[in-house]
Structure 1
Amino acid sequence: MSLTTILCQVEPGDAAMLDAAVATPFALAEAHGAQLTALVFGVEAEHTIAAEEQAAAMVRTAAERRGIPCETRSRSSFAYGVGDVFADHLRVSDLGVVVTRAGGGAVQRLMLGAAIFDSGRPVLVVQQQHPLEVMPARVVIAWDATPACVRAVHGAMPFIRRAAETLVVTVTDDKELRAGQSGIELTHLLARHGATARFTAVPRAGGGVPEAVLGAAPGGPGQMLVMGAVRHAPLHNIVFGSATQELFDRGPRLPTLVAA
């Protein structure tokens, strides 16, 4: 898989706000020679059509300066929620980028949920204050052999091939894996795709899965987490915890590529 078309949503605002919204999509489009589609409409607040058109023009101008093919689109139909509009466009893109903001609230969660669970495509989730402006040197895969995780790994292949290292991490006391589902076999597959990959197994040790996975990786910038997203019943989340629910509640600790 290669990245030819990247989708993002841009909230109209001042120049600083627009720069923060497009920092990651611009970097990805440049690195992969991809077309960028920017949906320019308000999610967190109502904006006039004039404000949205002005923001769209600013995004196109900034993309042109950097030599990035960029198309802007408005919210095409008010018959659907903003999450539905994003998911609809994402189905005909290779990768979606969702930039989360501190205190984004319920609408941001709806956008993220629709992007992940309703599009069928991989989604890169990044914090606005920590954009992904250089391609990750290390990719960390939270491997649990679920179909969602398999799809996330496939969606992350353009990053895995470019990374200096890919670390496959299995949390040993989280899910019971059958023979043949070991992350060791995944490293062999990734190596055949040209990646430099290694495997490690770590205990959950009473903490959450993200803590265990990221604790197995050397710290510092230049990392990307890859994981599957699964919907659980609320009681499951309360008793066992959920890496997916934590992503929705706390936002990504580092750029996180997810698929469902």
Structure 2
Amino acid sequence: MPIKDILTVLDLAGDQPAAKYALEFGRIHDSHVTGLAVSFEPVVPAFAAAPMPVDYLQAAHEQAVAAAKSAKSQFDELARIAGTRNESRMAEILTGGPLENVLAHCRPTDLVVIGQANPDRPEPMRELLIETLLFESGVPVLIVPYIGSEAYQPRNVLVGWDGSSTATRAIHAALPVLEKADKITVLVIEKKSTPENGQPGADVANYLARHNMDVTVDVLTNPQTGVADAVLNHVSENSNDLVVMGGYGHSRMREFLFGGATREILEAMTVPILMAH
């Protein structure tokens, strides 16, 4: 199915690398792009010894709304320059509270685009927002590195394949992008020297080849590094400009307790990553 409806969650500061990517990506795919500016409303701590001054809360509210309006205006100007069909919206949520109001905007779309968490310019609740979008939106999520990317039409795509349902959903979501790529590499990381089910990655490579795609398979057996480093090293060594992979293969609690490849990749990514859960 073509990607015709994109929503991008706007940054509240900076140069909007995710919005720029979404708009150019949308122009190439003839998509409608919605920019969503989120106003993070202040919360009064339950343990506060004394009531918070009303004027403080009002000032914090006005500051949050002003930041969202500024991001919305910035998106409107970027969209005007890009010439992409677009609209912009605002949503309000309580800082640290439920994200259902954001999810409601994201669910009736084909793709959500959001920026990577930037340690030098933190966005409110960004890591939690990315995780929640992956787990609860039901929509594939494309994360753009905070350094930006101009590979609006990826040509050299890396597909991470482990046979899981999340990787399968990511590949299906990425088909409109993969069909335009010049080269696709399926990366399989094997922990056993002797695969149990024939040639690793051959099944998904054949599937993509039937869609007239140029596909090769790279198998890494017992890599000396972890899965995340193996993926990131492949990207660096082969100049991949997009990664397609399943996100958070385990439950939220297990990922929280033990970490995981998804979280490590999101922290160190240098190219856009299209994920599905």
Alignment TM class, shorter chain as reference: 0.7 to 0.9
Distance apart, 1:133 and its partner CA: 4.2
Matches of 1:23 and 1:174 in 2, distance apart?
42
Equivalent AA in structure 2 for residue 34 of structure 1: S
Write the mapping of 1:66-215 to structure 2, written as runs, cut at 5 A: 66-75=82-91, 81=97, 83-103=99-119, 104=122, 107-173=125-191, 179=197, 182-215=200-233
**1:75–1:85: 8 Å Cα contact kept in structure 2?**
yes
Q: Which residue of 1 aligns with 2:45?
A: none
**2:115–2:146: 8 Å Cα contact kept in structure 1?**
yes
**2:191–2:221: 8 Å Cα contact kept in structure 1?**
yes
Q: Which residue of 1 aligns with 2:30?
A: 33
**1:125–1:252: 8 Å Cα contact kept in structure 2?**
no
Q: Which residue of 1 aligns with 2:274?
A: 257
Equivalent AA in structure 2 for residue 252 of structure 1: M
Residue 36 of structure 2 is aligned to residue 20 of structure 1? no
Share of identical aligned residues, percent?
24
Deviations 1:130-155 (A, max 9, x none): 32443111111110000000001111
Structure 1 pair 73/216, CA: closer, same or farther in 2 (3 Å)? closer
Alpha-carbon RMSD across the aligned residues, in angstroms, is: 3.1
Matches of 1:70 and 1:236 in 2, distance apart?
36
Equivalent AA in structure 1 for residue 144 of structure 2: V
Distance apart, 1:64 and its partner CA: 2.3
Deviations 1:203-249 (A, max 9, x none): 232311132234446736552111111235548964xx62113135x
**1:96–1:121: 8 Å Cα contact kept in structure 2?**
yes
Residue 7 of structure 2 is aligned to residue 7 of structure 1? yes
Distance apart, 1:35 and its partner CA: 0.4
Over alpha carbons, which structure has the higher Rg? Answer: 2
| SS at structure 2 position matched to 1:117 | helix
Distance apart, 1:21 and its partner CA: 4.3
Matches of 1:218 and 1:101 in 2, distance apart?
20
Distance apart, 1:42 and its partner CA: 3.7
Equivalent AA in structure 2 for residue 41 of structure 1: V
**1:10–1:18: 8 Å Cα contact kept in structure 2?**
no
TM-score, normalised with respect to structure 2:
0.79
Matches of 2:264 and 2:162 in 1, distance apart?
17
Q: Which residue of 1 aligns with 2:75?
A: 59
Q: Report how many aligned residue pairs link the two structures.
A: 254
Distance apart, 1:120 and its partner CA: 1.3
Distance apart, 1:183 and its partner CA: 1.1
| SS at structure 2 position matched to 1:125 | strand
Equivalent AA in structure 2 for residue 87 of structure 1: L
Aligned residue among 241, 250, 268 for 1:231 = 250
TM-score, normalised with respect to structure 1:
0.84
Equivalent AA in structure 1 for residue 22 of structure 2: P
Structure 2 residue ranges without an equivalent (≥5): 43-59
Structure 1 pair 135/61, CA: closer, same or farther in 2 (3 Å)? same
**1:6–1:96: 8 Å Cα contact kept in structure 2?**
yes
Structure 1 pair 69/141, CA: closer, same or farther in 2 (3 Å)? same
Equivalent AA in structure 2 for residue 209 of structure 1: V
Structure 1 pair 217/40, CA: closer, same or farther in 2 (3 Å)? closer
Deviations 1:32-71 (A, max 9, x none): 1100011112459963435533432342233123211111
Structure 1 residue ranges without an equivalent (≥5): none
Write the mapping of 1:40-51 to structure 2, written as runs, cut at 5 A: 40-42=37-39, 47-51=63-67
Matches of 1:136 and 1:130 in 2, distance apart?
14
Structure 1 pair 182/90, CA: closer, same or farther in 2 (3 Å)? farther
